Amino acid sequence: MYGPITAQKYQGEWNGVKESIEVWTVAGSSIVEITTEALGIEAAQSSHALMENLLQQQNLLPLQPGLSKTGWALKKLLQTISDPFSLLLQGGFNLYFRHAKPESTVDDEVMLSQSGQEQARKLGELLSARKIPIQLPVSASPINRARQTAEIAFSEKNIQIEPQLIQKNHLPQLLEVVPKQGFNQVFVAHQFTFNNQLKEFDDLLYLGMVLLKPLGEGKGYTVVQVLDLLQEALIKHSSDVPELTLKK
């Protein structure tokens, strides 16, 4: 893992010459770098020319000569950050949602307000319409306003109550767990500082989402972005989701 980039490395032989292959994947697309390990420049150039010819025949060479995988990855990351749904399609993230708007915050028994219920319903519809891969069951805090948010958005049958979501000392351990390949894990809970990784201007609104890249058990996680997915869909990508108009 290089931040949000998944890398795979391979070594082997091709036509009797040692080759190293590195594959970087960003937002569901991949770039491959092949390195030839040969004795002498002539042997290296000969192997390089054979490989280049083979890849050209199969239309696998980059459109831009001299394109670096780092430059390609940075461009992809900028594109996916401008459209978070593209990033979510590849999976591998933990999506931490604050619950939708409650009737009040007086006690743990308070349920969602009418507008909060509408928020939760729209979130479920949006993720389904965008075909975002969600690992089931979705984890929800046992407190009513979070549990109800998860049940409305993802259906009651797809929810599991997770007590660690209200145990701040244990919550980081939960968030560093990597989801199944190709899926995103969802947690519906409450305000949290994420070990102070949020920036000063990152305000976690009702149904706000913190996009996390888990690094594995005992290794922590990285905060990638703080988002309001409903607003992202309405403001930046409204042509794709014209039906998502929230009621006041």
Report the chain's terminal Cα–Cα distance, integer Å: 42
Q: How far is CA 225 from CA 22, 63, 81, 84, 199, in A?
A: 27, 31, 8, 9, 10
Averaged pLDDT, 138-160 = 96
Supply 147's token pair.
Answer: 């549990």
Domain end point (choices 81, 99, 134): 81
| 200 residue type, one letter | E
- The answer to whether residue 245 sits within a structural domain is no
pLDDT, residue 199, reads 63
- The residues with which 239 forms a beta bridge, in sequence order, are none
SS (H, E, C) the chain: CECCEEEEEEEEEECCEEEEEEEEEECCEEEEEEEEECCCHHHHHHHHHHHHHHHHHCCCCCCCCCCCHHHHHHHHHHHHHHCHHHHHHCCCCEEEEECCCECCCCCCCCCECHHHHHHHHHHHHHHHHCCCCECCCEEECCCHHHHHHHHHHHCHHHEEECHHHHCCCCHHHHHCCCCCCCCEEEEEECCCCCCCCCCCCCCCCCCCEEEEEECCCCCCEEEEEEECHHHHHHHHCCCCCCCCCCCC
Domain end point (choices 49, 81, 113): 81
CB neighbours of residue 193 within 10 Å? 9
How many whole angstroms from its chain centre is CA 99?
A: 19
Asked whether 72 and 115 are in contact (CB, 8 A), the reply is no
Regarding whether 145 and 25 lie in a shared domain, the answer is no
From CA 33, how far away is CA 12, in angstroms rounded? 14
Supply 1's token pair.
Answer: 């893992």
pLDDT, residue 246, reads 37
Regarding whether 51 and 137 lie in a shared domain, the answer is no
Q: Is the pLDDT of residue 245 over 80?
A: no
CATH number at residue 176: 3.40.50.1240
Regarding whether 132 and 163 lie in a shared domain, the answer is yes
Regarding whether 76 and 113 lie in a shared domain, the answer is no
| Structure-model confidence comparison of residues 5 and 79, the more confident one | 5
- The answer to whether residue 242 sits within a structural domain is no
- The answer to whether residue 112 sits within a structural domain is yes
Q: Is the pLDDT of residue 87 over 70?
A: yes
Regarding whether 168 and 130 lie in a shared domain, the answer is yes
Domain end point (choices 35, 66, 81): 81
Regarding whether 166 and 137 lie in a shared domain, the answer is yes
- The answer to whether residue 246 sits within a structural domain is no
pLDDT bracket for residue 229 (50, 70, 90): confident
Domain count, the chain: 2
- The answer to whether residue 1 sits within a structural domain is no
Regarding whether 150 and 55 lie in a shared domain, the answer is no
- The answer to whether residue 194 sits within a structural domain is yes
Regarding whether 24 and 96 lie in a shared domain, the answer is no
- The answer to whether residue 226 sits within a structural domain is yes
How many whole angstroms from its chain centre is CA 206?
A: 20
Q: Is the pLDDT of residue 192 over 90?
A: no
Regarding whether 228 and 125 lie in a shared domain, the answer is yes
Averaged pLDDT, 226-233 = 80
Q: Which domain holds residue 168?
A: 87-236
pLDDT, residue 30, reads 80
Regarding whether 66 and 158 lie in a shared domain, the answer is no
Regarding whether 95 and 71 lie in a shared domain, the answer is no
Regarding whether 63 and 127 lie in a shared domain, the answer is no
How many whole angstroms from its chain centre is CA 187?
A: 13
- The answer to whether residue 241 sits within a structural domain is no
